[in-house]
Amino acid sequence: MAFRMGVGGGNTSSGMGVAEQSVSTFQELQRKKVYRYVIFKIDEKKKEVVVEKTGGPSESYDDFTASLPENDCRYAVFDFDFVTAENCQKSKIFFIAWSPSVARIRPKMLYATSKDRFRRELQGIHYEIQATDPTEMELEVLQERAN
Amino acid sequence: MSAVELTETYACTPSTERGRGILISGDSKSNTITYTNARSVIMMNLHNPLQVSVYGEHAYPATVARFSPNGEWVASADVSGTVRIWGTRNEFVLKKEFRVLSGRIDDLQWSPDGIRIVASGEAKGNSFVRAFMWDSGTNVGEFDGHSRRVLSCAYKPTRPFRIVTCGEDFLVNFYEGPPFRFKQSHRDHSNFVNCVRYSPDGSKFVTVSSDKKGIIFDGKTGEKIGELSSEGGHTGSIYAVSWSPDGKQVLTVSADKSAKVWDISEDNIGKVKKTLICSASGGVEDMLVGCLWLNDYLVTVSLGGTISIFSASDLDKAPRSFSGHMKNVSSLTIRRSNPRVLLSCSYDGLIVKWIQGIGYSGKLQRKENSQIKSLAAAEEEIVTSGFDNKIRRVSLHGDQCGDAEAIDIGSQPKDFSVALSSPELVLVSIDSGVVMLRGTKVVSTINLGFTVTASVVSSDGSEAIIGGQNGKLHIYSISGDTLVEEAVLEKHRGAISVIRYSPDFSMFASGDVNREAVVWDRASRDVKLKNMLYHTARINCLAWSPDSSRIATGSLDMCVIIYEIDQPVANRNTIKGAHLGGVYGLVFTDEYSLVSSGEDAFIRVWKITPP
């Protein structure tokens, strides 16, 4: 029995699917570490979640926050490197649902209802953050969550 | 990121109420006195009144606080009838909290071994007094005998233990125990009995009352043995009494504005040794409502909140007096010519001068004591706005206030600012517009068509920015007596609460009710620094450093956040819990010193260490 997932068809409550490319880009970040961050956008015409932008491993958190639009929603994945209290180098993947309060209601609803379905496709997320303004996704927030 | 530390604290005064005394207490080992104001319990060192620590954990206004006999714990009580016992060290860690009475607690005493506490006050029903074990809260006796509010209680400091209570039913009740049982009652007073205190050796206790008398009783049996002589006695209600450490003298304070030191002779007659009067204006605020004899210090508190410290060994020496605010300090300002002097004002009409490094410097004696909404200072005068629709200009020469010229503007002033370089121009915002004043004349009242919430005028008087209820900033240029609208800026998502120009006039900053602050470039009107969203409640005040390189915002969430203009907002400094109840006044006195004031009637000076 073939189990068709993702491409084209949708079983989200909003009818959005997840593009193959989104999942594979995420897997590249996770396994091969070719990207520092990936930003996803909902393409309403194609009715799926696609990759909008990726950032190289040398980019910083500030470059990432600068790539997020001020008044539109996005999904993002960020690979956060840090040193723990016991002095070991660790790396955790954060999923950020960026939904600024200044955005219009339509994108907020769209992104909120599609989030669950999309999130399930991305296996291997360590932490999830929902941010409604820049203060909620500050570097300090990530540092506090990661351990 | 640089660090911010607290360098000076100018404490509030004890909160007082006309017609009632207050009870202050102290710890003789550390020379600290403790008193309460609103929800805070303040511990002040008598050697150095700038050294103050505050306990702010009560959920209701605190009424009395007392150190335990070993000095390790403090038991403090509030109007809800709750007693909290906390440690004096280790950040005031809470030991226990008990709901003791069903109404406000007026007095609290520890037993000399620190195991039992007796609390008295007002209650619905009949439990006006309760004594309990300090660690478990179990009752140690039954206290009937009172039918009205019990104003004071005392625990005999030596064995055999006794408890004495006195109150508004004119009775002095005597209980033996533990477990404490009613023994006898005395009705020698003809008015409220305000305070009862045991001598340090437990041999006698004295009660003082609003009938101007003081009566001495035997400590063990509770029989009346003498009284304070009426010759040279008080001519007004006596509110509090305190024994000297040797038990031979008492200090009383009264509504007749004097404090008296009495010698208690062998046959238990008290004779006035000295009458202490604090030199003052002689008004109602000089009625003395609280006293304490701590080691060599005689501390008296007046209704206006002035604390005077006399020396017990040298009664003729003039006292050290200082005061402060009793209510929310809503405005804080400095005069450019002398930034070490701070002027603060609270809504009850009190303006206080403070000098950095020294502390309290004096109250500005105003000819009329109306309530003040906010204050601004120009070089030679201060301008205040009141709730009575009037703006007052008072000339200030040194410390003396001249006559106030009151200008009626027709409606409630919401916010006002003075053009610093041409101080005759004052712009006042009212509900739906602004009023321009030149000198003492209203030159124009302009209806702007939107609800105005904040306003500011530039120091040369050429430009004004008015903020509205909808979060829009309207920029006007001032030509003659009219305003010409130049631009409307939209960014804020809540009513604007404060707008300030930078001292170098190149920028201005605005804060709103939705916790956001924005810095704008004045010439281009572009946003210069945004995402200043780190407060969790409305922004109340805003201050620029004199070189325009940093900005501080104070909010209802009790925090002050300092941002550097040329650095990202992530490099901000946050002062958490600066003022219990919210920060209402902020001003920079120099590049790295920030002074803040708040709802708790405190003024704090902070130093920013440059990175």
pLDDT in tens, B555-573: 999 999 999 988 888 788 8
Q: In this predicted structure, what is the pLDDT of residue A5?
A: 45
Q: List the one residue out of B509, B450, B513 whose CA is nearest residue B485.
A: B450
Are B54 and B88 spatial neighbours (Cβ–Cβ below 8 Å)? no
pLDDT in tens, A39-50: 999 888 878 888
Average pLDDT, chain B: 88
Q: In this predicted structure, what is the pLDDT of residue B421?
A: 82
Are B420 and B446 spatial neighbours (Cβ–Cβ below 8 Å)? no
Taking CB atoms and an 8 Å limit, are A133 and B533 in contact across chains? yes
Instruction: State how far residue B247 is from chain A, nearest Cα, in angstroms.
Output: 59
Tokens representing A101 are 């309060």
pLDDT in tens, B400-433: 677 778 888 888 888 888 888 887 888 888 888 8
Are B153 and B120 spatial neighbours (Cβ–Cβ below 8 Å)? yes
Q: Report whether pLDDT(B111) > 90.
A: yes
Whole-model pTM? 0.85
Q: Report whether pLDDT(A12) > 60.
A: no
Q: In this predicted structure, what is the pLDDT of residue B279?
A: 64
Q: In this predicted structure, what is the pLDDT of residue B554?
A: 94
Cβ contacts (< 8 Å) between A135 and chain B: which residues? 531, 533-534
Q: Cβ of A135 under 8 Å from any chain B Cβ?
A: yes
Q: Report whether pLDDT(B527) > 50.
A: yes
B305 CB-contact burial (10 Å; exposed 0-12 / middle 13-18 / buried 19+): buried
Instruction: State how far residue B570 is from chain A, nearest Cα, in angstroms.
Output: 8
CATH superfamily of A18-146: Severin (3.40.20.10)
Q: Which of A71, A135, A136, A142 to mutate to test the interface with B (most CBs of B within 10 A)?
A: A135
Taking CB atoms and an 8 Å limit, are B534 and A139 in contact across chains? no
Taking CB atoms and an 8 Å limit, are B493 and A101 in contact across chains? yes
Taking CB atoms and an 8 Å limit, are B568 and A62 in contact across chains? yes
Query: From the list B493, B533, B568, which residue is nearest A135 (CB)?
Result: B533
CB pairs under 8 A between A and B: 13
Q: Cβ of A63 under 8 Å from any chain B Cβ?
A: no
In whole angstroms, give the CA distance from residue A146 to residue A140. Answer: 10
Q: In this predicted structure, what is the pLDDT of residue A9?
A: 44
Q: Cβ of A87 under 8 Å from any chain B Cβ?
A: no
Q: Pick the residue from chain B with its C-alpha nearest to A139.
A: B570
Q: Which of B531, B557, B574 to mutate to test the interface with A (most CBs of A within 10 A)?
A: B531
Are B195 and B214 spatial neighbours (Cβ–Cβ below 8 Å)? no
Question: ipTM greater than 0.90, yes or no?
Answer: no
Q: How confident is the model over B576-600, as a mean pLDDT?
A: 91
Cβ contacts (< 8 Å) between B568 and chain A: which residues? 62
Q: Cβ of B6 under 8 Å from any chain A Cβ?
A: no
Cβ contacts (< 8 Å) between B517 and chain A: which residues? none
Q: Cβ of B490 under 8 Å from any chain A Cβ?
A: no
Tokens representing B304 are 């206006």
Cβ contacts (< 8 Å) between A138 and chain B: which residues? 570
Q: What angle do CA B455, B457, B458 make, to 5 degrees?
A: 140
Query: From the list A101, A134, A140, which residue is nearest B531 (CB)?
Result: A134
Q: Report whether pLDDT(A90) > 90.
A: no
Q: Pick the residue from chain A with its C-alpha nearest to B568.
A: A62
**% chain B with pLDDT above 90:** 44
Tokens representing A61 are 């958190």
Q: In this predicted structure, what is the pLDDT of residue A13?
A: 61
* Pick from B131-145, B392-406, B597-611: least confident: B392-406
Q: Cβ of B47 under 8 Å from any chain A Cβ?
A: no
For chain A, domain boundaries: 18-146
β-pair type (B224-228, B214-218)? antiparallel
pLDDT band at B1 (very low <50, low <70, confident <90, very high): low
Taking CB atoms and an 8 Å limit, are B570 and A102 in contact across chains? no
Q: Pick the residue from chain A with its C-alpha nearest to B536.
A: A135
Q: Report whether pLDDT(B164) > 90.
A: yes
Cβ contacts (< 8 Å) between A101 and chain B: which residues? 493
pLDDT band at B76 (very low <50, low <70, confident <90, very high): very high
pLDDT in tens, A50-84: 899 898 888 888 888 888 998 899 999 999 888 88
Q: Report whether pLDDT(A6) > 60.
A: no
Taking CB atoms and an 8 Å limit, are A133 and B570 in contact across chains? no
Taking CB atoms and an 8 Å limit, are B531 and A138 in contact across chains? no
Q: Cβ of A110 under 8 Å from any chain B Cβ?
A: no
Give the DSSP letter of residue B569: G
pLDDT in tens, B271-293: 888 888 876 667 788 889 999 99
Q: Cβ of B1 under 8 Å from any chain A Cβ?
A: no
Q: Report whether pLDDT(B463) > 50.
A: yes
pLDDT in tens, B78-87: 999 999 999 9
* Pick from A123-127, A140-144, B398-402, B418-422: least confident: B398-402
Query: Which range, B260-269, B339-348, B589-598, has the best average confidence (pLDDT)?
Result: B589-598
Q: Which of B512, B527, B534 to mutate to test the interface with A (most CBs of A within 10 A)?
A: B534
pLDDT in tens, B16-64: 988 888 999 999 888 999 999 989 999 999 888 888 999 999 999 999 9
Q: Pick the residue from chain B with its C-alpha nearest to A141.
A: B570
* Pick from A133-147, B207-221, B251-265, B466-480: least confident: A133-147
Query: What residues contact residue B578 under an 8 Å CB cut-off, 6+ apart?
Result: B554, B558, B559, B560, B596, B598, B604, B606
Q: In this predicted structure, what is the pLDDT of residue A101?
A: 87
Taking CB atoms and an 8 Å limit, are B568 and A102 in contact across chains? no
Tokens representing B584 are 């209402």
Distances (CA, A) of B348 to A28, B327, B586: 67, 7, 19
Q: Cβ of A81 under 8 Å from any chain B Cβ?
A: no
Taking CB atoms and an 8 Å limit, are B534 and A135 in contact across chains? yes
Instruction: State how far residue A144 is from chain B, nearest Cα, in angstroms.
Output: 15
Q: Cβ of B93 under 8 Å from any chain A Cβ?
A: no
Q: What angle do CA B370, B371, B374 make, to 5 degrees?
A: 125
Cβ contacts (< 8 Å) between A133 and chain B: which residues? 531, 533
DSSP B3-65: -EEEEEEEPPPPP--TT-----EEETTTTEEEEEETTEEEEEESS-TT-EEEE---SS-EEEE
* Pick from A103-117, B364-378, B460-474: least confident: B364-378
Q: In this predicted structure, what is the pLDDT of residue A4?
A: 44
pLDDT in tens, B92-101: 999 999 999 9
Query: From the list B493, B533, B570, which residue is nearest A139 (CB)?
Result: B570
Q: Pick the residue from chain B with its C-alpha nearest to A101.
A: B493
In whole angstroms, give the CA distance from residue B98 to residue B117. Answer: 11
